[in-house]
Amino acid sequence: MPLLLLDLDNTLLDRDGPFRAWGERFLDSIGAPPTDIDWLLSVDADGLTDRWDVADAIRDRYGLRIPSIDLVEELHDGVVALTRLDPLVACALRIADDAGWVPVVVTNGTSRQQDAKIRRTGLDRYVADWVISEEAGVSKPNPRIFALAAQRARMPLRGAWVIGDSPEADIGGATAVGLPSVWLHRGRRWSDTRFAPTRTVDGLIAAVAAVLAG
């Protein structure tokens, strides 16, 4: 029963769609032009920008008097409320489980937001456990977070696969810990010369199929 170590955002759960939807609603609520969504997406940088920095950038651009902490709360809660679990992703996880794999989520981010996404979408019913970087005190690509995931599941890392969309955090992390990996390309080309994924696919369902076949 090997481990299947899975990223959360833009791997198990779509993040792009919910963040864009939240951004469009928020910009409309403050009277900003709809085209400013492109600016907001660039500031967000696919979720890599710290939420406090995003909040400060919004306040500065629009001269808002809303406290940064309130904007951070809105960012957290708004995106979580719009996040949904794709039934096909749930089905793929069930198939992996039936085939003897043990799915465990390994994600960077804040405990509050990531835990809420996992529980509120019902993803918790399809995975054995999850490790969130803020709670763990270590982030991907550090090999320690993958070791902690194995410890949580009470299983060895040997034989595990890593699935994720981040070249650095997921594929780099898998390489650092000596595990095979599947990269969700999301329309991108692989460009890192330091390491490479074992497989490259276009989505979670194809990734699970690649692991089961591999």
Which residues, 6+ apart, have CB-to-CB distance to 210 below 8 Å?
Answer: 182, 199, 201
Please provide the average confidence, as pLDDT, over all residues in the chain.
Answer: 96
Average pLDDT over residues 162-191: 97
Q: Report the phi/psi class of residue 161: left, alpha or beta, with left for phi > 0 and alpha for psi in -120 to 50.
A: beta
Per residue in 75-99, pLDDT (tens digit) is 999 999 999 999 999 999 999 999 9
CA 47 to CA 45: how far, in whole Å?
5
Question: Cα separation of 7 and 4, whole Å?
Answer: 10
| pLDDT attached to residue 48 | 87
H-type alpha helices, 13-67: 16-29, 37-44, 51-62
Q: List, in sequence order, the alpha helices (H) in 45-167.
A: 51-62, 68-82, 87-98, 111-120, 133-136, 143-153
41-70 pLDDT tens trace: 999 998 889 999 999 999 999 999 999 999
Model pLDDT, residue 1: 79
Mean pLDDT, range 107-136, rounded to an integer: 96
Average pLDDT over every residue of 28-37: 96
Question: Cα–Cα distance between 208 and 214 in angstroms, integer?
Answer: 10
How far is residue 151's CA from residue 33's CA, in Å, rounded to a whole number?
Answer: 49
Residue 170 has pLDDT above 90, yes or no: yes
Is a pLDDT exceeding 90 seen at residue 214?
no
Residue 32: pLDDT band (50, 70, 90) is: very high
Token digits of residue 99: 């085939």
Supply the pLDDT for residue 78.
Answer: 94
Q: What is the pTM for the complete model shown?
A: 0.92
Q: Which two tokens stand for residue 91?
A: 């089905």
What's the average model confidence in pLDDT over 158-167?
A: 97
Instruction: Pick the closest to residue 164 from 144, 147, 181, 146 (CA basis).
Output: 181
Nearest to 2 by CA among 172, 213, 211: 211
